[in-house]
Structure 1
């Protein structure tokens, strides 16, 4: 098959226009096009240009060799690459100890799934609850101001990604097409078929719940064992190698291969690993606030007269500003037609995040507006970033009134440096609620200064972005892990053999897709280690 890239058609083109365009572009007769499938569909919404759909299609042709020869120098017409995933091996029949996966978020799910598909029958230990009970506990915070520290937005089956927009795109380099494996498994588990080809696929929270359950069933059908409410409290290391794990119940599990697929909020587990001498280092991350606008404002700014078109859906954005004080301010985890959610995992702290359903039909758009920070801002070693996060989250708890409400401020008041006393046209979506006032003390002064400069600059890129009534809600601190559990080319810890740090918490992913890809990589590394083969 041949892949034809960058085929441009009007937004409202007729169905037959696509095959006609393929035939015209390849200069073949209609009957020579035996079949085609859409590999990718995106859109070009740049200002000053007509809004166009852009297709990449895989074509089966009567004379593929002849067409390929005629277009040998055209980089937009190439042979379709082999993107089918192939397992790296299969478990030996005499496997002494089953591998253990700690954490059942996106990374842990895919690590366990791949190990199960290779016959390793992994044991999965998840400190939180199964996804439906976890959802009830999460609503307990949102509706009743009651936090369960072991079952919330951060902890439980599906990980933090379950309560998100469900974005399935990233900027990782993926030469082996592992992302396609992630997408394919999601479709098997019930995700909509369109995520295979749309340029910015997403699933949404409600659909993710059912998909996670389906993937759990697949793992157990293949011999895997998934144990909920099983918190790992210690790791046994002998002669520089993993020998087992201890659970909060006192139970010990013997194993030589542990995938540490921790989320970025498993702070107590980070502390335990650090105390056991596992090598880790502080890394940059970002802190800031959530911002909410009417989704209709973002749609008009991005799509103009095409706002509301069903193929386009709710508009998103990606913004960055380099402030005069040297700080970078950027949008993070933008959730079209979504809500701002309470995402703390520790008592007496406030953390915000954003999520959307598949429909993305809530009234507001929200995104994190965050400022990049480095270990120079929080010196003190690998765990100093955790202390820095906790300080900001505790401060936000106090500013919000001490009952898990979040501190908030109107954008116009924030820029002007005055307290907010009443809401305008934008109703904040955060539950349990928002307490208006001033956010100037919620973040370090350099972050506030950079954000006050950035918001008007963003208003020049998206008309109305710095509107007075837009709402800022604090604080967003869990953008990524504040540390990295350093690993080598074989995906094992630099100083503990058999320990495989993985995913977002270990500092190797940022979002559902990249976490899933890292889970696959690490599962492969475990298999190769067991089989005595180099990566």
Structure 2
């Protein structure tokens, strides 16, 4: 098989046109084409009047060697890579120790799954509830303003990614094709098979719930154990080697191989690790606001007359602006046809995030509009200072929203004119419990407000209507990524605590479902190899 990339055809092409284009691109006769499969399909909408579909194809030929030799200098015609996942080892039947995984978000889930598939029978500890009970608690905040600090958008089976757009694409380098393993496991668990070929795959919350349950069942069937409502409150370390964990219940569990995959909101766990001497450093992250527009506006601006075409779906966008004050403002976690959701993990705080269902058919598009910040200039002096800044902004947002878990909001026109908003315009908020209109000028540091005020009109030059007066801003967005990094060495262990494997987004090594899951596979392999050496 050979792989052709960047093959472009008109939006409404026929299958015969695709075959003819392959034949023409390779300079072969029709008889030499045995068949093809679509590895990836995306679109090129830079010219709205002539939107193209862009293919990556795996092609079977009768004269493959001759064609590859003829195109040896062409980067878009290469042998099809082997994406088969191969395990690094298999646990012995008399394994003397079980690895412990703290956290069951995308990263912890894949650490557990891969270790279970290799026979290591992992023990997964999750502070929150199983996913369906967790969903009830999350809806309790959204619908009734009842908040559960241990079971919410951030904590519980599936992690923060369960209540998101379910995006399954990433910009990480993946030479070992671990991302393919992740997508394949998701399809086995019930995801639509199309995620294996579309350029920007997504699933949506409702499908993620059942998938997470199926993956849990797979881990348990392979001998793994999962305990819910088991918060880890302490870590036992002796002579620089981790020895086990202590749960909130007081129970102690022994293991010399512990994966910390707690997600970016486990602030109490970060504090505990710091107190135990685990090396932690502050890292950059971003803060900002959520913005909502009519999805129809985004569709029209991106796709023109082709808006609504079934092959295109709901349009997204990606924007960045470099401001005069030295800050960068960019769109983050854009959710086409989605909703803004309450995402706090602490009482008396307000945090926003975005979520979409698989259909992406809600009336509004939403995205974070966020400003990059760094520990050197914005929260110096302590590795956990970024967490303190997050808490300060979230607590103030709670006050601005009226102290009821409503989010503070302001129309874009009023935000730019520096006047409070009093009534909604044509864009109605999707955030529940509700949005309390007012003035967002104090919701973020002055440098961030100044930067966003400069960026919105600039974005309006790229997407007509982006800075429309009735577009709605909601605050605050603070959980863009972890504000800390638990530094690790080449074998994925903490640089000063042997046997502790910092993993995923919370440890500072991922950003999103797919990259967190890929990091989980890498960490699982490292744990397996270390345990096999010990055995």
TM exceeding 0.5: yes
Q: Write the distance in 2 (CA, Å) between the matches of 1:134 and 1:188.
A: 23
Q: Deviations over 1:71-122 (max 9, x none)?
A: 2222211101111111111112332210001000000000000000111000
Q: Shift of the alpha carbon at 1:29?
A: 2.4
Matches within 5 A, 1:40-51: 40-47=40-47, 50-51=50-51
1:223-302 aligned at under 5 Å gives the runs 223-302=223-302
Instruction: Tell me the distance in 1 between the aligned counterparts of 2:505 and 2:164.
Output: 15
Q: CA deviation at 1:19?
A: 1.8
Distance 1:353 1:48, change over 3 A: closer
The alignment partner of 2:432 has SS state of: coil
Shift of 1:206: 0.5
Task: Please name the residue that 1:318 is paired with.
Answer: 318
Report SS of the residue matched to 1:532.
helix
Whole-angstrom CA distance in 1 between matches of 2:285 and 2:5: 36
1:4 Cα deviation after fit:
1.2
CA shift for structure 1 position 70: 2.3
State whether residues 164 and 205 of structure 2, in contact with CA within 8 Å, keep that contact through their aligned partners in structure 1: yes
- Counterpart of 1:435 in structure 2 is 436
Match of 2:236, SS state, is strand
> Alpha-carbon deviation of 1:7?
1.1
Whole-angstrom distance in 2 between the partners of 1:252 and 1:5:
53
Q: CA deviation at 1:49?
A: 6.2
1:207 aligns with 2:221: no
Gaps of 5+ in 1: none
Other-structure match for 1:72: 72
Change over 3 Å in CA distance of 1:48–1:14 after alignment to 2: closer
Flag structure 2 segments of 5+ consecutive residues without an equivalent.
none
Is 1:462 the counterpart of 2:484? The answer is: no
Report Cα offsets for 1:50-82 as digits up to 9, x if no partner.
210011100111121122222222221110111
Determine helix, strand or coil for the equivalent of 1:491: coil
Moved over 4 A (4+): none
Q: How does 1:353-432 map to 2 (within 5 A)?
A: 353-375=353-375, 376-432=377-433
Deviations 1:399-425 (A, max 9, x none): 000000000000010011000011000
Alpha-carbon distance change, 48 to 220 in structure 1, aligned in 2, over 3 angstroms: closer
* Cα shift at 1:528: 1.2
CA–CA distance in structure 1, aligned partners of residues 344 and 72 of structure 2:
55
Name 1:14's counterpart in structure 2. Answer: 14
Q: Distance in 2 between matches of 1:17 and 1:258?
A: 54
**Aligned-pair CA distance for 1:48:** 6.5
Matched, 1:63 2:63: yes
Counterpart in 2 of 1:160? Answer: 160
Q: Which residue of 2 aligns with 1:33?
A: 33
Deviates more, 1:100-109 or 1:62-71: 62-71
SS in 1 for 2:58: strand
Partner Cα separation in structure 2 for residue 69 and residue 172 of structure 1: 30
Indicate yes or no: 2:358 matched with 1:342.
no
How far, CA to CA, are the matches of 1:74 and 1:508 in structure 2? 34
Q: Tell me, in whole angstroms, the C-alpha distance in 1 between the residues paired with 2:492 and 2:70.
A: 44
The separation in 1 between residues aligned to 2:47 and 2:448, in whole angstroms, is: 30
Distance 1:233 1:5 in 2: 50
The answer to whether the Cα contact below 8 Å between 2:336 and 2:364 also exists between their aligned partners in 1 is yes
Query: Residues 48 and 187 of structure 1: is their aligned pair in 2 closer, same or farther, counting only changes over 3 Å?
Result: closer
Q: Distance in 2 between matches of 1:29 and 1:340?
A: 53
Within 2, Cα distance between the matches of 1:196 and 1:394? 41
Other structure's SS at 1:154 match: coil
Equivalent-residue separation in structure 1 for 2:322 and 2:188 (angstroms): 42
The whole-number CA distance in structure 1 between the counterparts of 2:490 and 2:308 is 47
Matched position secondary structure for 1:365: strand
1:348-380 CA-partner distances (Å, limit 9, x unpaired): 000000000000000000000000111121123
* Structure 1 residue 17: Cα displacement: 1.9
Q: For 1:475 and 1:517, how far apart are their aligned partners in 2? A: 29
Separation in structure 2 between the aligned mates of residue 47 and residue 38 of structure 1, nearest angstrom: 24
C-alpha distance in structure 2 between counterparts of 1:51 and 1:479, whole Å: 32
What do you get for the CA RMSD once the two structures are aligned? 1.0
Q: Distance in 2 between matches of 1:330 and 1:66?
A: 47
Q: Which deviates more from structure 2 when the two are superposed, residues 68-77 or residues 110-119?
A: 68-77
Give me the TM-score of the superposition, normalised by structure 2.
0.98
Count of matched residue positions in the alignment of Structure 1 and Structure 2:
533
TM-score by length of 1: 0.98
The answer to whether the Cα contact below 8 Å between 2:49 and 2:304 also exists between their aligned partners in 1 is: no
CA distance in 2, matches of 1:288, 1:447: 7
- 1:20 deviation in Å? 2.1
Report if aligned partners of 2:48, 2:302 keep a CA contact under 8 Å in 1: no
> What is the alpha-carbon distance in structure 2 between the residues aligned to residue 329 and residue 75 of structure 1?
34
Match of 1:170 in 2: 170
Partner of 1:195: 195
Structure 1 counterpart of 2:481: 480
SS in 2 for 1:435: strand
Secondary structure (helix, strand or coil) at the match of 1:17 reads: helix
CA deviation map 1:267-298 (0-9, x unaligned): 00001111100000001000000000000000
